[in-house]
Every structure is written in structure tokens, then in C-alpha cells.
Structure 1
Amino acid sequence: MNFKPFVAATLLAAPALAQPAAPPAAPPATAMSAATTSGYLTRDAAMSILPLLPPPPVKNSPAEVADRYTYAVSASGVGSPAWKSAIEQLSIRSASFQQALGCAIGKQPGRATQALLTRAAADFVPPMAAAKEKFGRNRPFTTDKGQACDPDAADGIGEALGKAYPSGHAGIGWLWALILSDALPERADAIRSFGQATGDLRLACRVHWLSDVTHGRILATALYQKQAETDAFKADLAAAKAELAAAALATCP
């Protein structure tokens, strides 16, 4: 799979965060493409987390049985509210993110916060892509032609979605949740609930196995720990934290 379109769509889906009321907000920053975005880590540093990711569960192991059971049960949720929410967050953008951030959100993207999330996600892509290529795990709907909410899975083959393990949605959603919990600690519980839901909705969408989602979060957590040690990340986090605080003062009752 060519991951550049995935990353570009993902980064452009970063939440729109409010700017202070005065001075007038600058035009929204456009997220850089995957080809030009630089993260906080060197490629080697980002790739160094891969040994922490185990292979997908082997056939008939307890984890693989749990994967198959979770997928089978999810068939009863087709058309449910969770199914509809999963459709809404195909690009990791949903009302739940806005709710998680509370009233500190508006129509103008906050430049510092946007940059923080964009650079963080850029670091996640190389190890995610390498793991997908290494393990080559097929999506669950390829085994039974089962219904999935993502239009790229409509043919039951889903080549446009690429391989399954680990989940990019779950990983980036959780990575953003960890970062924004630092930037807006008073909303940490709600933000982390959003991060959890981002992966859970990929299960409701029926495009991932359970272990794809859980291990996407593991990869994200390991990456976050490395990013948080860098001076550039610390500086960008401080800028985003100040931006969010200003947005809350300007827009929240």
C-alpha cells in the first residue's frame, strides 16, 4: 500500500482548534504532505520501536481466538450507532474529538497544536508501514467477505486499505490522545476516551482484528515515550498548551 495518501488524509484530519479572539486569527495552516513532513525523531529512532511489536497471534492461540470471536460478534452491530460513528471517523475526525476537547475548539485550526499532531503522526508512519509489510496480515473481511463500513472494503478484498497489523487509526488516535492529554490535562479523561474509541470504532467498522487495534496502541505508546524526550517535542507541546489555554479563555464560558 502507498501510505502517503493515508498520511496526508490523516494529518489533514487533525482537529480544528480555536485561536484567541484577538488579534484576528491567521489563515488555517495546511498540513504538510507525508513527503515533506518531518517528525521529532530520526527514521532510525522511530524504527527502533519495532522490536517491541510482537507478531500477530498464531492460529488457534487464545489471542487469535479472541480476534475471531470479536469479529464474529461485530456482525450484529452493522447499522448500529457505533457502526454509523465508525463511518464518521474514517479519517480520524469525529464529533467525539470535539467533545473531548470541550469548549476550547472553533473553526480556526490552532497552528501550534496542528503542527504538534502533524509531526507526531509523521513519526508513526515508518514503523507502522514496516510492520504491515513485514507481517502481511490480511483484513478480517477478506476471510469471509463480511460487510465492512469503510468503502475501500466494499469489494470484500480491500486492497486499498492495505494490510491489517497494526492498526494505523488506532495507533495515531491513541498517540494524539496521549499528546493532547499532556497539552490539556484538565480534559485528559475525555481525550483518552476519544483515543480509545478511535481504535474501537475500527472494530465496529469490521476492518481490523482486535489485536491489530491493541498493538497499534502499543506501538503508539512506545513512540510517544521517545518523542517526549526530545527538545523539539517539548517546545511544541508547550506552544500547543499555551494555544489551547488561550483558546479556552477566548471561547469558553
Structure 2
Amino acid sequence: MYDRLINRRALVAAFALFVAATVPSFAADPAPAAAPPTKTLQWLRAEDVEPGQLLPPPAAAASPEQQADLAALRDVIRTRTPERYAQAKWDDEHEDASIFAATIGDGFNLSALPATAELLKLVQHEQSVAANMAKRYFLRPRPWAVDTTIVACDFKLGKPPLTSYPSGHATLGYSVGFVLAALIPEKAQAIQARAKDYAYSREVCGAHYHSDTEASHALGVAVATRLLTLPALQSRIEAARRELRTARLTG
């Protein structure tokens, strides 16, 4: 009898564990994790970078302009060399002011140039917000979402497909490049050439159409121009100039 009692208690305990494991709890579910905060403009106003005012709309789907854009991109991909593709992949992985280090030369080490680094950091922030505003406004499909034979060097599963216009990388290159050209006028032409080549990497990569990077040119210059003329930033701009002169990177 004692054995039967033990067995009965074991069965009851096992059944209780089974129910606890399989029946949904009616307790309140834990609150979902908070979404990461959306970046907002800190220096510019939204109307300063209104996408519909600054940029023309991209080519409509299936339009002759869209077909020409796609054909041009296919040609870039078909004729790219392994060396140029390797550079495009390097550029894809470096979305910051370090892309200009080789152009400006020895001494352009932002860890040793805090005033310049601070100024460029805020430029990068503002251009990133502006580029994302434009992407959400235009919602242009990426080339690989239109033509599945295109495999972009930055493609990964889950990547948002409606983010082609403008290019974020290219907007960074043009905005930061414009500011650096103003700070180091002796190397303005070389800096601007590097910004253009960096933008072209997005096409070599298969990530963007040429019209995407052209829109980035317009947006990047607009962001940089507005920032350079803001009265509230003049002291920071002058501090960066002094620092670059001290480092003998400009006269």
C-alpha cells in the first residue's frame, strides 16, 4: 500500500509538471523590448533637408529611365576589375572620415585631432539623418530587389529593400568631403575626387544606381553647406582649422 501511495504521488507530481510546461501562462507577458531610438537632427531643421524640395524623384518602376539606370549598373558590374571590386568592398566597410586618410596624408589621424573629429562626427550624424529621411520618403527598391541576378557586396538577409535612393555611403562621402575641402583648401580637388570615387564604389558594389549616388551628391553638399554657414558652429569650425594648421595639414 505504501508503494502504491508513493507511485500515486509521483504521478500527480509528474502531471503537474507537464501541465506547467505545456499550458500557456495567464500571467501578463513581459513588456516587449523598447525599439532603439530613431536618430534626429541636432543642428539642422527638417525643412533644411526636406527630400521633396532638395531631390528630384527617382525613376519610376519599369520606366525607360529605370531601365537605363539598371542597364548602366549591369555594365559597371560586368566591366569591374577584381582590384576595383576589392576597393568597393573596403569602402563599404568604412563608412566614416577615415576614407579620406590616404588622400589627406600622414598626420590625418582623428584620434590626435579632437576638434576636427568632433566637427566631422556631427556632420556624419546630420547627413545620416538626412539620408534616411530621403530613403523613407522615396522608397526606391535596391537594384538587387529589381534584378535578382545582382548580388551586392553588402547584401545580407533581412536588409531593407526600399533604401536605394539616395545612397547613405555616398551622402557621407560627399558631405564629409565637402567640409574637409573647406578646411583643407589646398587638397580640395583631391578630396572631392575621393568623395566621387567613394560614391562610385556603391555602383561597383552593385548596391546602388548611378542616379542614387548623384542624389547623394546633391544632398551631401546641401547638408555640408548648411552646416558650414550655421552661426552656432563657427567656433567649432575655427577650432578644427586651427588644429589642422597646427598639424601642418593646411596653411
Tell me the TM-score normalized by structure 1: 0.74
Q: Of 121, 126, 130, which residue of structure 1 is paired with 2:129?
A: 126
Question: C-alpha separation between the residues in 2 aligned to 1:82 and 1:110?
Answer: 31
- 1:149 corresponds to: 153
Q: CA RMSD in A?
A: 2.9
Q: Of 66, 69, 88, which residue of structure 1 is paired with 2:68?
A: 66
1:1-253 alignment runs, 5 A limit = 35=39, 39-42=42-45, 44-48=46-50, 50-59=52-61, 63-77=65-79, 80-90=82-92, 91-92=94-95, 97-106=100-109, 108-145=111-148, 146-150=150-154, 153-155=155-157, 159-160=159-160, 163-248=163-248
1:232 Cα deviation after fit? 2.7
Query: 1:115-169 CA deviation, whole Å, 9 max, x = no partner?
Result: 111111222233322221122111101222222211xx145xx625761111111
Question: C-alpha separation between the residues in 2 aligned to 1:53 and 1:112?
Answer: 32
- Is residue 56–residue 135 contact of structure 1 (8 Å, CA) maintained in 2? yes
- Is residue 228–residue 234 contact of structure 1 (8 Å, CA) maintained in 2? yes
Tell me the TM-score normalized by structure 2: 0.74
Over alpha carbons, which structure has the higher Rg?
2
Question: C-alpha separation between the residues in 2 aligned to 1:186 and 1:34?
Answer: 38
State the one-letter code of the partner of 1:171: T
Query: 1:20-42 CA deviation, whole Å, 9 max, x = no partner?
Result: xxxxxxxxxxxxx985x864323
Q: Would you say how many aligned residue pairs link Structure 1 and Structure 2?
A: 214
- Is residue 87–residue 205 contact of structure 1 (8 Å, CA) maintained in 2? yes
State the one-letter code of the partner of 2:57: P
State the one-letter code of the partner of 1:118: K
- Is residue 141–residue 161 contact of structure 2 (8 Å, CA) maintained in 1? no
Query: 1:198-232 CA deviation, whole Å, 9 max, x = no partner?
Result: 21000010000111100011111222222222123
Seq. identity, %? 27
- Is residue 63–residue 211 contact of structure 1 (8 Å, CA) maintained in 2? no
Bigger helix fraction: 2
Q: Which moved more, 1:188-197 or 1:72-81?
A: 72-81
1:58 Cα deviation after fit? 2.5
Unaligned runs of 5+ in 2: 1-34
1:186 Cα deviation after fit? 0.8
